Amino acid sequence: MQCQRTPEERFEDLADYPFQPHYLQVDDTEGGELRIHYLDEGSPDGDVVLLLHGQPAWSYLYRHMIPPLVQAGFRVIVPDLVGFGRSDKPTRTEDYTYARHVAWMSDWLTQLDLENITVFLQDWGSLIGLRLVATFPQRFAAVVLANGGLPAGPIPAEYAEPLKEAYASLPVVSSDELERRFRDTSGIPGMLYWRKFAAESPEMLRPGHAVFTVAGGAHTLTDAEKDAFNAPFPDETYLAGARKFPSLVPLFPDEPEVAENRAAWKVLGQFDKPFMLAFSDDDPVTAGGDRVFLDAVPGCKGVQHRTIAPAGHFLQQEQPQQCVQAILDVAGKS
């Protein structure tokens, strides 16, 4: 597997990101290795908080949440998913599969031998993270799910072929137009426009500008912060993972990992540790996605769920203190 590694100078002097890098090698599933970067802040003896980012963000997204969590006594661990941040970036889009992402992060998690974890999941961090919870439920003490989910082919089979045919001729809309497509629930799902945009739009090379516009958080970013979100991607050769992620979401019943996600739902149906839902009030991507967990996951019962507001998709950027409070509350540290 051929990989790129973003030059270290791209990560120098980033705003509000003074953290030291840590690295760990995992099996790339082809007989080689990949280097995963992660942050490890706070007391080594503290209870673990694991923060998982989504696409196309990286550990920089959690920069404002790490210090208060450390101050509360936690050991805070924040990895960069393969293809993002300081982690290695396979250069071919076909190198990225949902199953491989789960395998890579499972290898990373078990090598670190993390236990008693309170995990905060958002976006693709939830698609991978909930699979980790289902695979290693004994390692997790509590879950905060924020603007995420675990789709298992939610689009009915009778609509699958017409939508796949429509996808082939969809235009690559601008980032400004994407938000409107997500909010319009009367036609083709916004996620299909997002697939097309991520796969083909030249705007993806600057995710700190383009994607935060889509997700409603661009107004909270300074130019320096936008540049920091762009830092992992010096040119197109580093972008394969970011381009592929939306196509890996199992929307249709015949897509890969539907069966595996349904099996994970069965495990979550027995997960009785605290499971908090902390979705934002104005996310065009995952609005309403919290409801399916309320009755399905026993750990949701007796938990004080909340709405993070005002915030769009990247609520860690817009309301970091509310996200920190959610973690403190679910972990019994408030």
- Residue 171 corresponds to which amino acid? P
Q: What is the DSSP letter of 32?
A: S
Round to whole Å and give the CA distance between 230 and 116.
33
Is residue 282 annotated as a catalytic residue, yes or no? no
Round to whole Å and give the CA distance between 82 and 6.
12
User: Phi then psi for 86, rounded to 5 degrees?
Assistant: -90, 0
Is residue 123 annotated as a catalytic residue, yes or no? yes
List beta partners, residue 33: 27
| 247 burial via Cβ count (<10 Å: 0-12, 13-18, 19+) | middle
Round to whole Å and give the CA distance between 151 and 248.
11
The 10s digit of each residue's pLDDT in 7-31 is: 999 999 999 999 999 999 999 999 9
Is residue 283 annotated as a catalytic residue, yes or no? yes
Q: Which helix (H) or strand (E) holds 106?
A: helix 98-112
117-121 and 140-145: which strand pairing? parallel
User: Is-above-0.85 flag for pTM?
Assistant: yes
CATH of domain 3-153+255-330: 3.40.50.1820
Query: Which pLDDT value is given to residue 208?
Result: 83
Per domain, the residue ranges of the chain are 3-153+255-330, 157-248
Catalytic residue (one of 28, 123, 290, 329): 123
| 186 burial via Cβ count (<10 Å: 0-12, 13-18, 19+) | exposed
The 10s digit of each residue's pLDDT in 235-252 is: 999 999 999 999 999 999
User: Phi then psi for 54, rounded to 5 degrees?
Assistant: -120, -155
CB environment 167-182: b (16+ within 10 A), e (fewer): eeebeebebeebbebb
Query: Which pLDDT value is given to residue 216?
Result: 62
The token duo for 205 is 């090379």
The 10s digit of each residue's pLDDT in 265-307 is: 999 999 999 999 999 999 989 999 999 999 999 999 999 999 9
Catalytic residue (one of 80, 88, 283, 329): 283
